[in-house]
Amino acid sequence: MRRTMWWLAGLCSAGAFAAGSGEDKQVSLTIYNSDLALVEHLRPLEVPAGVQRIEFAGVSAQIVPQTVNFAADGLELIEQNFDYDLLTPAKLMEKAVGGKVRVVRTNPATGTETTDMAEVLSTNGGTVLRIGSRIEILREDSLPARVIFDKVPENLRARPTLSVLVNAAQPVTGDARLAYLTRGISWHADYVAMFDEPGGLLSMQGWITLANLSGTSFANARAQLVAGDLNIKQGDSPGYRESYEDRARRAAGTEANAKPRIADYYLYPLAQPTTIASNQTKQVSFLESTDAKASKGYEISFSGFQSNDEPQSAQVRVRFSNSKAGGLGEPLPAGMVRVYARDARGQPQFIGEDRIGHTSAGSDIALRIGDAFDVTVQPTLRQTTATSKRLTDYDMSYLVRNARNVPVVLTLRQKGLMRVNEVRAESLKGRRTDADSFAWDVSVPANGETTLTFTLRQGW
Amino acid sequence: MRPARALGLVLAFAALPCLADEVRVVSGAPDEVSVTIYRDLFALITETRTVELPAGAVTLEFDGVVESLLPQSAVVAGTGRELSETRYDYEKLTPGSLLRKSIGKTVTLTRTHRRTGKVTQVEATIVAANKYGVTFRTAEGNEAWQCSGLPERLTFSEIPDGIEAKPRLSIRLAGGEAGKRQVRVSYLAHGFTWSADYLGHVDAGAQRMDLLGWVTLRNLTGASFRNAQVQVVAGRLNLLDYEEDGTSLVGDTADYSSDEHLREALREAEEELADEFDDSAHFETVSSCYPQGPPAFGQVMTKRDSIGVVDAITAEDIGRFSDGSEELEEVIVTGTVALREKLADYQLYRLPARTDLNARQTKQVAFIRKQDVKIDRFYALRLADEAFEEDMIEEEGDRLHPMIRIGWMNQQADGLGEPLPGGRVRIFDGRHDSAVFAGEADIRDNPVGAPVEFAIGFAQDLTLIPKLPEDEEPQVNWLTLLTRRVSLPMELLIENRKSVPVDVEVRQGQMLQLTDIRVKRASQAPGRKAGDYLWRITVPANGAAHLDYVVSGRNSRED
């Protein structure tokens, strides 16, 4: 049955090509964060009655063929194929097996050309030809020989092509809708944040960066962007959950707003059609906010108890909130935040970057900027003492140095403790932050140092 | 306070990026450039440019930006207009891109007969060009390029659209008042790095050192900057993986537990990047054929290899010759010292005068000179299990050689009191021209008020002969069974074959299978250092000293 269909298709294809290869009347893209886009082509169609093949050239090269959805009134879909077989010299010869080529030989001494018709018998490891009654290997003698092919096989394409085999009960004139998912198109947000430390303010500019690595250009497309992480099976699922202090988002926001949504995701439609060329990265501005309240903090965390000969730098965090009260009041799509500060001459200089996830409005964010050159911590495990078979007292001392000419506060966290844990003695009042962690806020004077000591008992 | 604008309203694209009536303004070269180099293989480039803007919407194109720019980091300020779109799609002119962009175009194919020299020229249309080969069509039919064994040359009449001779960043601006504007274009670009290199001339007897610090900065890219303001930033920035839209070429920097590992990864990446920027190393045309020739040879591949590639100069090399050798092409700026200022929580060093930073150039400028810094040069040996695996001591039969260590406290009272960015310290014995290279080490960022200590080598004429507890089973009796504590007697003999008395620091660290360690019955009262027990033993010239103590601990093996 299938064989017959193909034969039929072959008969009709010549007439059908013109109908199917029309340009897009409209192309729409719904782009997700996760290297995925839904493409919808609307193309005019004019087909005679009967079984025929319609070709759609210029679809994404990274199409997921299983997701193709073809719809046109009056057409019954029989079969669909995606062809993107690159035309290469090797393929050209391979497809010529069983067919005829011309072999033009040049006399090395005189330059005289002689032409023979040849049948290509095989291309495995070398090209075997039949010329007249002789069988020979192409250029076995290493002498020049040009091979001329009359035609380039039709299924070797310059552009990725989707073809559908359809049956029309009667001639059809109308629009065909072709929708599919593709890889290679994605977007993310990029933020440029200027941190004014003395003023306690953060100005943010947000950009949407669209990247098209699908191998196909989409001209004049209507695009909308979906913010939200879809669950997509890709073999390697993330599975790994970031621990609290590694995350930029510290408290999830609950402020609702009027942004359009689909299902549980935010939707950002682009107001105007745009051309998304192949291999292009383009950026579109979407957020400009000045003067959000922001502050800087120092943090460090230790898992386990150890001594260190050398001081370790504290992490620097810039904290702000995208709440209305904080001055921003916008949900922030996932992306990279690059933070700048002004140098002594007022010129902005880059000071670090961090990634934020999709962040609902009203969330508390603490961006990790880098390590403080001048705020360091040197841990010393002074003594361990077993108090019972299962419990041990750890006598820790943390020397916090501040070489800045302003006082600083460092949040020091002791984390990853065993099931039973308690602080027996401490030089500063700390707090339990978790079932298995404690934190202390250590104030250090300008150009000075503070030592935090505590005894922590843990075991099981 | 200006509220953030709603996203949907601002996403104003023009219908097509290249409409015929679109106004394009090209800015050729910047008026002024500032280059801020970070240790993580990138720089922040800030360009000041003067542009003449027409009243309507305009596409502004900046020529001559650094090729390796990260488009998502580009910021343009000072246009006074709403900016809707930024684009950077630079396709470099290479044989491959020329062929790819010429698909469907007509070129001239020239064949030359090797013997007779007869030249044949035909018109050809490129049908396909990809990494697997080139197919073209002539009046005769379809053929594959460079598969016939005849010399075949393709000639192009022009460079196809979409291939740029120069990297170009373009932005789209809304309409506004016409006039001259000074705009600031800033972006991050890969291919720049710097390191701190120190030369320490040590007077061991006086426990003093003269310290000279160089900023060695390196431009691996093909971009040259005239009369640029150059600065470097010392500090460990949080950077994320470039593959995931970040800036770092060595993965997330937070994943590196130590500065040493990060620095090592950066050194490797630097060499890779230097090769990548060296275009001649990657000159390779697409030319591949159908199977032909004798079967044994299979597919014939034509590949043009690099021509005249000069080995990259490594940062290592520069450091090695940093005290004045002229073998390398680096410029040493002497007589001036880079100026330091604070930038957020980092240090920023500014080259004192504007300078040219040329393509593939290395430049050095001093940033610190300190005389008579008080140091502690001493011999040290740490006894702990890991000591035998790490490089703390070198084992030689039963004899151990202490390490030569140098330490200082970064404070004004000791002649320092300046932040010292982490880098390689090369120590010379002697403070004069006849100084002898004594060893090197890497130090991490050293803030004011914090100590530094590093080893530069082993003292061959000092030996420590331990009678280690491994030699015998710990004593077990009813008391040890009850308290589960064991005692290990340690007997150390330190010999000095020098003609001067020396101080040797002996540290007792953690022992495997023993917790709750305490030192008892020591022949000399111990101090403490970083959790260890510590002794400073003076060993007479050509003499020996003893240290005996007992390590008492809880046997954790039975837990």
Reduce the secondary structure of B226-287 to three states and give it as a string: EEEEEEEEECCECCCEHHHCCCEECECHHHCCCHHHHHHHHHHHHHHHHHHHCHHHHCCCCC
Q: What is the pLDDT of residues A230-245, one digit of tens each?
A: 665 544 333 334 444 4
More confident residue, A368 or B484: A368
Q: DSSP for B40-52?
A: TSEEEEEEEEEEE
Q: Which pLDDT does position B382 carry in this prediction?
A: 86
**Band of the pLDDT at B390, cuts 50, 70, 90?**
very low
Provide, as residue numbers in chain B, all residues whose Cβ is less than 8 Å from the Cβ of A371. 235-238, 345
Which tops the pLDDT comparison, B354 or B100? B354
Q: How many Å apart are CA B411 and CA A368, to the nearest integer?
A: 29
Longest dimension (CA), chain A: 101
The tens digit of pLDDT for each residue in A189-212 reads 999 999 999 999 999 988 888 888
Residues in chain A within 8 Å Cβ distance of B289: 89-90
pTM of full prediction above 0.90? no
> What pLDDT shows up at residue B248?
95
Report which of residues B212 and B85 the model is more confident about.
Answer: B212
Per the CB < 8 Å rule, is B345 touching A370? Answer: yes
Range with the poorest average pLDDT among A44-58, B196-210, B375-389: B375-389
Average pLDDT, chain A: 84
Query: Is B341's Cβ below 8 Å from some Cβ in A?
Result: yes
- The residue-averaged pLDDT of A66-76 equals 87
The predicted model gives B142-146 an average pLDDT of 88
Query: What pLDDT is recorded for position A230?
Result: 63
Residues 445-474 of B with CB under 8 A from A: 445, 447-453
Residue A275 with chain B: CB contacts under 8 Å: 16-17
Q: Are strands B179-190 and B75-77 parallel, antiparallel or unpaired?
A: antiparallel
Nearest to B230 by CA among B414, B35, B489: B35
Q: How far apart are CA B85 and CA B126, in angstroms?
A: 34
Q: What is the pLDDT of residue B17?
A: 39
Q: What is the pLDDT of residue B311?
A: 27
Angstrom distance (rounded) from CA A417 to CA A437 = 6
Helix (H/G/I), strand (E/B), else coil: B549: strand
pLDDT confidence of residue B359: 87
Per-residue 3-state assignment (H helix, E strand, C coil) for B80-95: CCCEEEEECCCCECCH
Q: Does B508 touch chain A (CB under 8 A)?
A: no
Q: Which amino acid is at B427?
A: I
The tens digit of pLDDT for each residue in A80-127 reads: 887 777 788 888 898 889 999 999 988 888 878 889 999 999 988 789
Distance CA B415, CA B427 (A): 17
Query: Hey, are the CB atoms on B11 and A284 less than 8 Å from each other?
Result: yes
Q: Could you give the ipTM of this predicted complex?
A: 0.78
Above pLDDT 90, what percent of chain A?
A: 38
What pLDDT is attached to residue A17?
34
Please give the single-letter amino acid code of residue A250: R
Q: Which residues contact A188 (CB under 8 A, 6 or more apart)?
A: A33, A208, A209, A333, A334, A335, A336, B245
pLDDT of residue B425 exceeding 90, the answer is yes
Phi, psi of A289 (to 5 degrees): -140, 130
Highest mean pLDDT among A162-176, A342-356, B324-338: A342-356
Instruction: Tell me the average pLDDT across B60-71.
Output: 91
pLDDT of residue B279: 59
Under the banding of pLDDT at 50, 70 and 90, the label for residue B20 is: very low
State how far residue B3 is from chain A, nearest Cα, in angstroms: 6
Question: Order of strands, edge to edge, in the sheet holding A134-137?
Answer: A134-137, A128-131, A113-122, A100-106, A145-148
User: What mean pLDDT is predicted for residues B341-369?
Assistant: 90
The answer to whether A386 faces chain B, any CB pair under 8 Å, is yes
pLDDT tens figures, B447-472: 999 999 999 998 889 988 876 555 45
- Look at residue B512 in the predicted model and tell me its pLDDT: 63
- The mean pLDDT value for A212-233 works out to 79
Q: B473 falls in which pLDDT band (50, 70, 90)?
A: low
What are B495's strand-pairing partners? B463, B544
Can you give the pLDDT at residue B320? 38
Mean of all residue pLDDT scores within chain B: 80
Answer whether B115 sits within 8 Å of A111, measured CB to CB. yes
Q: What's the pLDDT score for residue B467?
A: 67
3-state SS, one letter per residue, for B504-519? EEEEECCCCCEEEEEE
Q: Which pLDDT belongs to residue B4? A: 38
Contact criterion met (CB < 8 Å) for A447 and B448: yes
Q: How far apart are CA B376 and CA B368, in angstroms?
A: 20
Between vectors from CA A451 to CA B419 and to CA A385, what angle results, nearest 5°? 130
Which of A302-311, B303-312, B331-340: highest mean pLDDT? A302-311
Among A327, A319, A321, CA closest to A296? A319
Q: How open is the CA angle A408-A412-A418, to the nearest 5 degrees?
A: 175
Kindly state the average pLDDT of the residues A321-325.
87
Asked if B89 and A313 come within 8 Å (Cβ–Cβ), the reply is no
**Which range scores top for mean pLDDT: A357-366, B274-283, B405-414?**
B405-414
pLDDT-derived band at A79 (thresholds 50, 70, 90) equals confident
Q: For residue range B224-261, what is the model confidence (pLDDT) as tens digits? A: 999 999 999 999 999 999 988 899 999 999 999 888 89
Give residue B128's pLDDT band: very low, low, confident or very high (50, 70, 90).
Answer: confident
Q: What is the pLDDT of residue A232?
A: 54
Least confident residue range of A146-155, B210-219, B375-384: A146-155
pLDDT value for A267: 81
Residue A425 CB-density burial (10 A; 0-12 exposed, 13-18 middle, 19+ buried): exposed
- A284 to B84: CB separation less than 8 angstroms, yes or no: yes
The pLDDT, as a whole number, for residue B335 is 52
Residues of B in Cβ contact (< 8 Å) with A109: 115
Of the candidate ranges A432-446, B485-499, B533-547, the one whose mean pLDDT is the lowest = B485-499
Does residue B292 or residue B447 have the better pLDDT?
A: B447
- For tokens 């602080």, name the residue: A423
Model pLDDT, residue B442: 93
Q: According to the model, what pLDDT value does residue A149 have?
A: 92
A202 contacts on B by Cβ (under 8 Å): none
Q: Cβ separation of B8 and A386 shorter than 8 Å?
A: no
* pLDDT 10s digits, A251-277: 777 676 656 666 567 788 887 788 887
Q: Provide the token pair at B169.
A: 């960043």
How many whole angstroms separate alpha carbon B9 and alpha carbon B7?
Answer: 5
Confidence of residue B297 (pLDDT cuts 50, 70, 90): very low
Weakest-pLDDT range from A16-30, B323-337, B481-495: B323-337
The residues in B 409-428 lying below 8 A from A, measured between CB atoms, are 419
Please write the tens of the pLDDT for every residue from B356-365.
898 888 888 8
Rg (Cα) of chain A, in Å, rounded? 34
User: pLDDT of A14-50, one tens digit each?
Assistant: 233 334 446 788 899 999 887 889 999 998 888 888 8
Task: Please give, rounded to a whole number of angstroms, the shortest distance from the CA of B7 to a CA of chain A.
Answer: 5
Of residues B149 and A97, more confidence is placed in A97
